[in-house]
Amino acid sequence: MYLCYVDDSGTGDVRTMTGLLIPATGWNDLLHCWLEGRREVERTWGVPKNAELHAVKLVKGRGTFCSTAEQEKQFSKPARIRAHEMMLQRLARCEQLVVTTVACRTKVHTDVYRCFVEHIERWAAERDTHVLIVLDGNPGPEDSDRLSGEAAAEAWRQAVRSAAPYRDTHRGLPLASRRVLEDPVMQDSAYSQLIQAADMVAYAAFHHLALADATLWPKLSPVGPMSRSYKRLSTRWMGDPELEGFVWGDVEAT
């Protein structure tokens, strides 16, 4: 069985969704590789390993990440881009990791997710395995004991409602043959290192695709080093190497 950590990227009429697939027996190795990268970034620039790494903020120079003002001053935009590359370089050391990105010509996020799940279904069926998807989303209140009964109930209702389209995608799969198991597991990226890893890869894949085809996002100025970061994972791309880990989903067929 595989775990698949998923996050999205893209904008406008073209959206992407990236998954990091790891067999359950290799989960420790993937997390080890990621945490080794976190430790390296902490040693170099003082970014605590429990600080949330969000690719857009990191690469665009937004927000603060470091423990001190002096360290933050050294953590310039070029340094942040270098940190991003270091993290993906570490991920690439995980030999059992598989990276895949589904791109769709649509503005509707849940349509991309349906295409992504169908893609994972086909891949898992070919390998006679199963997949549990872990998705960036609202898992519910972290500490409902601190909320009033009414506030806690509303927070849980909102989390359940937000997950409904993703849950419905899973439950719409044929039960007798489905390879994607259970409902999606929702994890807050602030507390999930591997959702953060998926976010970093998804953002790099987005810029790599934008550099390859300027017509997809004509108003975007792609960040060249993001493509280089993405290529660090070339030995982990799913499918034909010439496709560079990308699959185009047909929204109308879902």
Q: Could you tell me the residue range of the domain that residue 83 belongs to?
A: 2-249
Confidence category of residue 144, pLDDT binned at 50, 70, 90? very low
Query: Is 228 a member of any domain?
Result: yes
Q: Indicate if the pLDDT at residue 201 is higher than 90.
A: yes
pLDDT digits (tens, 9 = 90+) for 208-254: 999 999 999 999 999 999 999 999 999 999 988 889 999 999 887 65
| DSSP 8-state secondary structure symbol assigned to residue 122 | H
Length of the chain: 254
Global pTM reads 0.90
**How many domains are there within the chain?**
1
Residue 31 lies in a domain: yes
Domain-embedded: residue 223: yes
Q: Of 253, 229, 215, which Cα lies nearest the Cα of 99?
A: 229
* Position 62 in a domain: yes
254, part of any domain: no
Is 38 a residue whose pLDDT tops 60?
A: yes
Q: What is the three-class DSSP state of 15?
A: strand
Which DSSP letter does residue 247 get? E
201 within a domain of the structure (yes/no): yes
